[in-house]
Amino acid sequence: QVQFVESGGGLVQAGGSLRLSCTPSRSTFSINPIGWYRQAPGKQRELVASVTSDGMTNYADSVKGRFTISRDNAKKTVYLQMNSLKPEDTAVYYCNYRPGPYVDWGQGTQVTVSS
């Protein structure tokens, strides 16, 4: 039932880097447009970064200059390169269409940044 599968999360020290990957659960699913979302403990889900069908990207102010979203159409994969990680980046990260229509939210991948 999950349309997207997220991977690449982990535990890192502040200032470290991670690269998240997002792939559709079925090859027939489109990866355009796509957005990365995150939900921190006790917080609402928020949009982190997105890439449009024509390749335009945008980022939340909190991650601008540190995160980069990219897409590999051949591999049907969307990436989120996260650099200079901060403890406040700790969250479960999800990918989904942006703005929608949304597919079922998957399990996400946990990113934990220690101080």
Q: Do 89 and 15 form a contact (C-beta atoms < 8 A)?
A: no
Distance CA 82, CA 16 (A): 8
Positive or negative: CA dihedral 5, 36, 85, 56: positive
Residue 36 per-residue DSSP state: E
What is the length of the chain? Answer: 115
pLDDT in tens, the chain (115 residues): 668 999 999 999 999 999 999 999 888 888 889 999 999 999 999 999 999 989 999 999 999 999 999 999 999 999 999 999 999 999 999 999 998 899 999 999 999 999 9
pLDDT at position 1: 65
Which tokens go with 13?
Answer: 């020290």
